[in-house]
Amino acid sequence: MNTPQSVIDRYTSAVMNLDREAMLSLFAEDLKMFDTVTPWKFENRNEWAVYIDEWFSAGATYAKVEASDVHIRTFADCAHVSMNMRYAEHGGGGMTNRITWLLVPDGEEWKILHEHASVPLHRTEMTPQFQP
Amino acid sequence: MKTLESVLERYISAVKSLDKQAFLALYDPSVRYFDMTAPFELRGTDVFGGRVDKWFAHMEGSEPDVIPSNLESSSSGELAYMTMLIDYADVDAEGNRRAMMNRLTWVLAPRGDDWKIIHEHTSVPLNEETMEPEFEL
């Protein structure tokens, strides 16, 4: 059985390499996703795949993708991860997301059954805050 | 063992009655909280409690309501989760109804005969074009 940490490592690698298949292989078919940008939700992996195609073909390339403040709880039939994920683009742009994962075993691998990614809003101006 | 649905029922009841103690009792003292507004995270009900004070003070006299939808949940013996869209509505001083929708994820762990929220992630999405927050589905 791989570990939730290995899912994080493969996620950062997939984004760095803009590798659609590697990215999709991390997710369960019945994925439910709340992503940082609209739409409000994706109801399965096929819907998410369409967005990944758009994301990875949008032109951004990444100098560094790394997780920090990682909390992992692993049990026999489920695991939970919460973390910050920094996406540093070539040229200096990028953002940090809060990410929550719920993972379930699928054979010898953990698959992401639920992802919730977001940035917080400024408390009075309600503008997005892209870095901690 | 109490059910996950009862956690949600108690959450709704606590917000509608602005009952801070009942609200905080739903959370593990070490909760990791990703709220809709900054900072990126809050840790522990001691810190989180101050935010609840401000939130409930803001809603005093406003007939708050909480309406979940798109609810999904699952539990094993050791961990449970709930995901939903949740509408927070109230009435302002001029009598106008206000509403804001959030995406909500709860991760819960068993504590005695009850589930406690050990992690909450609440957010709204940013519009893909403008990167402005959206507060309605």
Which of B34, B74, B81 has the CB atom closest to A118's CB atom?
B34
Q: What angle do CA A8, A10, A110 make, to 5 degrees?
A: 65
Q: Which residue has the higher pLDDT, A4 or B137?
A: A4
Restricting to B residues 47-86, those with a Cβ less than 8 Å away from any Cβ of A are 70, 72, 74, 76, 78-79, 81, 83, 85
Structure tokens given for A10? 């493969």
Reported pTM? 0.97
Tell if the CB–CB gap between A121 and B40 is shorter than 8 Å. no
Structure tokens given for B70? 């798109």
User: How would residue A83 be classed by pLDDT, with cut points 50, 70 and 90?
Assistant: very high
- Work out the average pLDDT over B85-96: 93
Task: Tell me the CA end-to-end span of chain B in Å, nearest whole number.
Answer: 34
Q: What angle do CA B87, A83, B109 make, to 5 degrees?
A: 65
**Confidence at residue B130, expressed as pLDDT on a 0 to 100 scale:** 96
Mean model confidence pLDDT for chain A: 97
Determine the distance in angstroms separating the CA of B17 from the nearest CA of chain A, rounded to an integer: 24
**Confidence at residue B17, expressed as pLDDT on a 0 to 100 scale:** 97
Q: Are strands A109-118 and B27-34 parallel, antiparallel or unpaired?
A: unpaired
Residue (of B28, B121, B119, B134) closest to A97 by Cα position = B121
Given a cut of 90, is residue A1 above it in pLDDT? no
Q: What angle do CA B64, B69, B72 make, to 5 degrees?
A: 130
pLDDT 10s digits, A96-121: 999 999 999 999 999 999 999 999 99
Given a cut of 90, is residue B137 above it in pLDDT? no
**Residue whose tokens read 């403040």:** A69
Question: What is the percentage of chain B residues whose pLDDT exceeds 70?
Answer: 100
pLDDT 10s digits, A9-56: 999 999 999 999 999 999 999 999 999 999 999 999 999 999 999 999
Q: Which residue type sits at B79?
A: L
Output phi, psi for A129, to 5 deg. Answer: -110, 115
